Amino acid sequence: GENVEQHPSTLSVQEGDSAVIKCTYSDSASNYFPWYKQELGKRPQLIIDIRSNVGEKKDQRIAVTLNKTAKHFSLHITETQPEDSAVYFCAAGTSGGSYIPTFGRGTSLIVHP
Amino acid sequence: DTGVSQNPRHKITKRGQNVTFRCDPISEHNRLYWYRQTLGQGPEFLTYFQNEAQLEKSRLLSDRFSAERPKGSFSTLEIQRTEQGDSAMYLCASTGGTETQYFGPGTRLLVL
């Protein structure tokens, strides 16, 4: 089965700095990689995703990069704001048919004002 | 609110008791997933349904756990003879035609 490792477990930055969270996966069949944000006491929500036929995707201050050869993908947040403080989860899975994502353990991002 | 809803939001029970949770997915979403999340971990897959058919169950899922989605709409997750190790947040998510998972607020279970 798929195994997803996520680092770091905690990331503390100053407002305005960039933050990078990295995930590695084990199953070369995985082709869909979403990122979820979970604020304290709230439900996880999708913030960005990438498919294996694309190397990078951007949406305003967030971007995701994928290296299929090395089997890793990263979330980049630029110009961080206090409201970016949350736990971020990466996931990997194979789309189509039985899609069952495997989640990383999460990264707690703290943005200090 | 047209999002995924779960009830109850919190449940405290004594070891050995049975508990049942309910999930109402987004209307017309055909896939419904159940996850368990413990502190410091990501959601861990338990089982999923396509319409009323239960298509996959985690090999880690004890036979004390059972889930149903009788009419292809809401789903229930039952845990029989609860153990302290069952204490966790139980999340439900639904999808409709894409991989994007819409999560419910979760049911937090505490087994004493």
Q: Write out chain B residues lying below 8 Å of A9, CB-based.
A: 40
Residue B66 has pLDDT above 90, yes or no: yes
Mean pLDDT of the B10-26 span: 98
Higher pLDDT, B1 or A29: A29
Residue type present at position A73 = F
Higher pLDDT, B43 or B1: B43
Question: Cβ separation of A34 and B55 shorter than 8 Å?
Answer: no
* Mean pLDDT of the residues in chain B: 94
Terminal-to-terminal C-alpha distance of chain B? 33
CA distance A68 to chain B (A): 19
Q: Which residue of B has its CA nearest to A101?
A: B45
Predicted pLDDT of residue B61? 83
Residue B1 has pLDDT above 60, yes or no: no
Question: Cβ separation of B48 and A100 shorter than 8 Å?
Answer: yes
Name which of A102, A113, A106 is nearest A32 in CA terms. A102
Predicted pLDDT of residue A84? 98
Tokens of A86: 């949350």
pLDDT means over runs of 10, chain A (113 residues) = 95 98 96 95 94 93 96 97 97 89 97 96
Q: How confident is the model at residue B68 (pLDDT cuts 50, 70, 90)?
A: very high
Tokens of B33: 């997933």
Which tens digits make up the pLDDT trace of B22-58? Answer: 999 999 899 999 999 999 899 999 999 999 999 999 9
Question: Cβ separation of B99 and A106 shorter than 8 Å?
Answer: no
Of A34, A102, A103, the CB nearest to B99: A34
Q: What's the Cα-to-Cα distance from B85 to each of A109, B20, B21, B56, B60, rounded to whole Å?
A: 28, 16, 17, 22, 13
Of B33, B42, B101, the CB nearest to A106: B42
Predicted pLDDT of residue A95? 87
Mean pLDDT of the B9-30 span: 96
| Chain B residue set in contact with A, beta carbons under 8 Å | 4, 31, 33, 40-45, 48, 55-56, 91, 95, 99-101, 103-106
Contact predicate B18/B80, CB 8 Å: yes
Strand locations in chain A, DSSP E?
4-7, 10-14, 19-25, 32-38, 45-51, 56-59, 62-67, 72-77, 86-92, 102-103, 107-112
Q: Touching check for A80 and chain B: CB below 8 Å?
A: no
Mutate one of B41, B99, B100, B103 to test the A interface: name it (highest A CB count within 10 A). B99
Predicted pLDDT of residue A1? 84
